[in-house]
Amino acid sequence: MEAKVLKQYVVDAFTDKVFGGNPAAVCVMDEWLPDAVMQKIAAENCLSETAFTVREGEGYRLRWFTPGCEVKLCGHATLATSFVLANFYEPEAEEFHFQSLSGPISVKRQGERFQLNFPASKFEPVEITQELVEAVGFTPKEAYLAASYLLVMECEEDVQNYQPDFSKLMQIPKGGGVLITAPSSHEGYDFASRCFFPKQSINEDPVTGSSHCTFVPYWSKRLGKKVLTARQLSRRQGTLYCEDCGERILISGSAVLYSKAEITVPVDTI
């Protein structure tokens, strides 16, 4: 059977150790595959995101797929893509420019870290309804809505110990997911979080760069500081170094290669 062979890399992002942070698959391609094929590859990988990128002019176009759908923005898979480009395709490059469904984004190399330049999220306070409380299983101190719910808890321990019922989270009245957060009790960190997207076939995302486009403006205003360090408290955990620049959010982190391989796509599916 005739097939197209693609190189695929799996990178753990927002960590400096394998098996930490958030793993993303990355395919750097000469030309686009059909959307349905890219969706099948993402489903086969069964990671929270698979990134596909193709060079366009002086930069790249970048797309992200969960096992269930294409998404508009993904931080850890953008970091992973930049890591792959820097290590295997353009080792001399200091900055990468991407076009995406969320507009232009860029990534700068900073030693062992990569700094993502993302659009800030706009969010509004929302009523804490009984429907929301029943879906998430607790009463938040504050609630906001952007692309997902942002729910503020009392303390980091509450975030760490939260045990969601994913079947109920599927019933949240609005938004694509649930982001929970609280001030950090650990020295050197400003806030902690966890992120859940069962509607997108991701029960808990280990480390979510794009959600910090919402977290950072909230905590920047609440804490009165522009530069923040964040912990995401999933089982894998991760660290994000953030800066609130108004309309843009800078998010920095490290990454490490887990695997590189070839994947086979039957030509009759293309």
Shared domain for 259 and 207, answered yes or no, is no
Mean pLDDT, the chain, integer = 95
Q: What would the pLDDT profile of 185-241 be if each residue is shown by its tens digit?
A: 999 999 999 999 999 889 999 999 999 999 999 999 999 999 999 999 999 999 999
Strand segments (E) across 85-226: 95-100, 103-110, 113-119, 124-125, 142-145, 149-152, 178-183, 191-197, 202-205
Host domain of residue 29: 3-116+254-269
Quote the distance between the C-alpha of residue 152 and its chain's center: 19
**Residues with Cβ < 8 Å from 179, sequence gap 6 or more?**
148, 149, 150, 151, 193, 194, 195, 196, 208, 211, 214, 215
Q: 222: helix, coil or strand? A: helix
Quote the distance between the C-alpha of residue 191 and its chain's center: 17
Shared domain for 89 and 156, answered yes or no, is no
| Any domain includes 43 | yes
Question: Which residue of the set 2, 49, 134, 142 is catalytic?
Answer: 49
CATH number for the domain harbouring residue 159: 3.10.310.10
Contact assessment for residue 191 and residue 163, using Cβ atoms and an 8 Å cutoff: no
Q: Which band of pLDDT confidence, cut at 50, 70 and 90, is reported for residue 269? A: confident
DSSP state of 185: -
Number of domains in the chain: 2
Shared domain for 166 and 230, answered yes or no, is yes
Q: What would the pLDDT profile of 117-158 be if each residue is shown by its tens digit?
A: 999 999 999 999 999 999 999 999 999 999 999 999 999 999
Active site residue 49: yes
Q: What would the pLDDT profile of 172-184 be if each residue is shown by its tens digit?
A: 988 899 999 999 9
Q: What would the pLDDT profile of 52-86 be if each residue is shown by its tens digit?
A: 999 999 999 999 999 999 999 999 999 999 999 99
Q: 157: helix, coil or strand? A: helix
How many other CB atoms sit within 10 Å of the CB of residue 79?
A: 31
Shared domain for 129 and 232, answered yes or no, is yes
Q: What would the pLDDT profile of 21-35 be if each residue is shown by its tens digit?
A: 999 999 999 999 999
| Any domain includes 249 | no
d(CA 173, CA 129): 10
DSSP state of 33: P
- pTM of the prediction? 0.91
Residue 57 — φ and ψ, nearest 5°? Answer: 65, -125
Q: What is the pLDDT of residue 37?
A: 95
